[in-house]
Amino acid sequence: MPNDATSASADSANLSPFALPQSVFMLSLASNILFGQKGSQAELTKQIQEYVGVPGGAQGTFFGLLNTPSPDYQCLTAPTAGGTPDWKVAWGPAVFEAPLNKGATNTMFAAYSAGLKTYVVAIAGTNPIGFNALLFQDLDVNPAHMKAWPPAQNAQDPTKLTWTLLANPAKTAPALAEGTSEGLDNLFAFKATSITSPDTPVTLQAFLKTVEDEAATLIFTGHSLGGALSPTLALLLYPQPSASRWQNVHILPTAGPTPGNEGLANLFTQAYRPKPIPAYTPGGKQGGTALFTQWNSNYANVNDVVPRAWDHLNGVVIAAISKPFKIFYEGGIPLTPLAFGAATDGAVFLLRQRAGYQSGKTDYYAPAVPQVVFTGGWGHWADGSGYPPAWVSETLPAEINKDALVQYVLEAHLATYPFAFLGAKTPVGLNGEVGLFGALDVQVALEWPAQPELLADEQASAGAEQLSPTE
């Protein structure tokens, strides 16, 4: 299977070489189109269907852009051998909204390029609307609640997984965080139409069985929460990818937190060893600053705190009595004393406590996926409707006050990734706004709860028992 190609069309004669991982990353970002959107599950599903299309039907705005050669967005030109880009939605999209959530909890779709013989499963990250994914899936990492890996498929209902509690597991006993298991429950239960079943909704697992091809590649991708769910879903569906009927099964997560312990990491690294990605040239007018160099690795901005959860929290510095106060990275962002109020200090302490840290380390979490670290720099996307928008580089001040802290943290986790790997912002999103993870998205994300009491008891905060996507 070719990993890169060049369009033969006159319109794209001046484009940089096409790189498959950049389009995979773009698909990952597209799964987050409901980030910050409110509405019922039916309304949200309709929104993303209009954006990516439906299997066997008209393709949405996103694939029209992905398949159109553009000098403004060179890296996303995805030609086939004959020069005709042909990405399309193959399964889904599927959306689950937990009760009382008011926004999408989990979102997933699969795309396909016949010319590249490649399928991509794209899984959305945490949606700040409703807090359900944050409280139930991101932060439910108590070692006393961990689940034994692998789960069993429920005999009575094949869309459900059966988990066994493995409280405070030994390092070598494969175990998964409860929050990640809840996300997998939702993804595994999803049913949607597909190119092989346009009239009858089927699970992703059932769909993939119908299209397995020894000449094709399957890739799982996601950002943030999606960066934890994509490798675990891949391991669940294909515990031994070399024994599958695919030519290759890869993952390409970004900004993913660690979902399990050393035993789980050993299973993953044995099955999904890093494989080199052929060299390519970043595209776009602005030009990317980082490259995807290997499959089966988690790409982490050195300034992003999320990939440090949950195995590198010893690098998160809790407030001291004397200046300068620093957070997230030793030698990292200097803060004014007022930036470390009780909420921030308490939240950092509770996060470490939650993951089972003792004497500065935890025995319950270890990186499941090897990390490739890059320096994303500091900056943000300029406001405005023009495309592509300008990237505004920033120099950190000597000290950062409390109001600016969260914005810097979210920019490092959201905005810097498309800039680093694509050199430009994502194409036009819902309602005509420019891209994802911009100023408006960051403002929405600022509503995330930071109070220690919410972090301490997510079950009480959620106020409702979760239901599966099929209930």
Condensed to tens digits (0 to 9), the pLDDT of residues 391-422 reads 888 887 777 776 677 778 888 888 888 888 88
Q: What share of the chain has pLDDT > 70, as a percent? A: 70
3-state SS assignment for residue 13: coil
pLDDT tens track for 208-238: 999 999 999 999 999 999 999 999 999 999 9
Residue 409 inside a domain? The answer is yes
pLDDT tens track for 160-172: 999 999 999 999 9
Residue 187 inside a domain? The answer is yes
User: Please, which pLDDT band fits residue 139 given cuts at 50, 70 and 90?
Assistant: confident
Question: Which segment of 18-32, 151-165, 174-188, 278-292 scores lowest on mean pLDDT?
Answer: 278-292
3-state SS assignment for residue 191: coil
Predicted confidence at residue 443, as pLDDT, reads 46
Predicted confidence at residue 446, as pLDDT, reads 43
84 vs 221: which has the higher pLDDT: 221
CB 249 within 8 Å of CB 218:
yes
Residue 79 inside a domain? The answer is yes
Tell me the helices (H) and strands (E) count for the chain, helix number first: 14, 21
Residue 468 inside a domain? The answer is no
Residue 178 inside a domain? The answer is yes
How many domains does the structure of the chain reveal? Answer: 1
Q: How many Cα atoms occupy the beta-carbon half-sphere of 295 within 13 Å?
A: 22
Predicted confidence at residue 355, as pLDDT, reads 87
To the nearest 10°, report the CA torsion of 217, 78, 410, 184: -30
User: Please, which pLDDT band fits residue 384 given cuts at 50, 70 and 90?
Assistant: low
CA distance 230 to 123: 7
CB 181 within 8 Å of CB 271:
no
91 vs 60: which has the higher pLDDT: 91
**Among 327, 328, 337, 340, CA closest to 304:** 328
What average pLDDT does the chain have? 78
CB 248 within 8 Å of CB 1:
yes
- Residue-wise DSSP of 221-259: EEETHHHHHHHHHHHHH-SSGGGSSSSEEEEEEESPPP-
User: Please, which pLDDT band fits residue 206 given cuts at 50, 70 and 90?
Assistant: very high
CA distance 357 to 288: 37
- Residue-wise DSSP of 302-360: TT-SGGGTTT-GGGSPPP-SSSPEEESSTT-EEE-GGGS-HHHHHHHHHHHHHTTEETT
CB 117 within 8 Å of CB 87:
no
CB 112 within 8 Å of CB 138:
no
Q: What is the CATH number of the domain that holds 356?
A: 3.40.50.1820
User: Please, which pLDDT band fits residue 23 given cuts at 50, 70 and 90?
Assistant: confident
88 vs 132: which has the higher pLDDT: 88
Q: What is the pTM (predicted TM-score) of this model?
A: 0.87
Amino acid identity, residue 150? P
**Among 70, 92, 83, 87, CA closest to 7:** 83
CA 41 to chain centre: 20
Q: Which domain holds residue 410?
A: 4-462
CA distance 132 to 465: 10
CB 333 within 8 Å of CB 396:
yes
3-state SS assignment for residue 120: strand
Residue 470 inside a domain? The answer is no
Residue 469 inside a domain? The answer is no
Average pLDDT rounded to a whole number, residues 263-271 = 96
Residue 471 inside a domain? The answer is no
